[in-house]
Amino acid sequence: MQMSGNTLFITGGGSGIGRGLAEAFHRLGNTVIISGRRMDRLQATIAANPGMVAVELDLREPASIKQVAADLIEQHPTLNVLINNAGVMLVDDVAGAVDEHLFVSTVVTNLGGAVRMSAALVGHLKSQDKAVIVNVTSILGFVPLVPTAIYSATKAALHSYTLSQRYALRAPGIQVIELAPPWVRTELLNSTEEARAMPLGAFIEEAMKQFASGVDEILVGDAVAMRANPGPGEDALVTTFNDLIASGSPLG
């Protein structure tokens, strides 16, 4: 994708990877609009990055998505890049009863949010030059983390959806990129100071290099090995990975 001269919309842009990407693209001279449910986070981000724009968005609500998409098209007609980054990650119990609120909220936000946001903007993106959709998945879509089984499953589903989306949007000329982060130091699972996780700055720096290279799939650090895992023998790495995580400090 081109690295400057874009108008980007990033969901979940008030913290973590979303904010890191927003600031990196902002520094390159792009017009950046961020969204999220917490306006205090969004306001702090745009205050630190003059010229950045923030809009409130609840990805759990289809009406909110449709309204924000309509406003974006009207107010930012040059919008050509959508980054579906927003997500929730909560500890669940795959061996116990289903927490209905956790289950529905995670699926509707992580998968439904990206599907609905893409659908709301894809008609507009088809009319733009150098249009791009970026779906932020996770290495856990390839090697699930058992204490966050539902989150991991949503990321596997979004990976599959991305493959379909990339195929379907070849003719209109929209590049569809999957960004599958490793464990990064963010607020997800209280990982801001997690020694086992990759520093956010280092992750963003390498991810931006790969964006500039034009690839359709961005893999940083441990993500390379994890991406190669799915196949007939995948249970072995799932077991090893989860045993390793279980031997460290508790998650969440």
Catalytic residue (one of 9, 142, 151, 161): 151
Query: Distance of CA 79 to CAs 174, 182, 199, 230, Å?
Result: 13, 28, 30, 35
Contact 98, 49 (CB under 8 A): no
- Alpha-carbon distance of 208 to 218, in angstroms, equals 9
- Alpha-carbon distance of 124 to 199, in angstroms, equals 35
Check residue 142 and report its DSSP letter.
T
- Alpha-carbon distance of 159 to 164, in angstroms, equals 9
CA–CA–CA angle 62, 103, 185 (5° rounding):
90
- Alpha-carbon distance of 196 to 184, in angstroms, equals 9
Q: For this structure, is 151 an active site residue?
A: yes
Which residues belong to the active site?
151
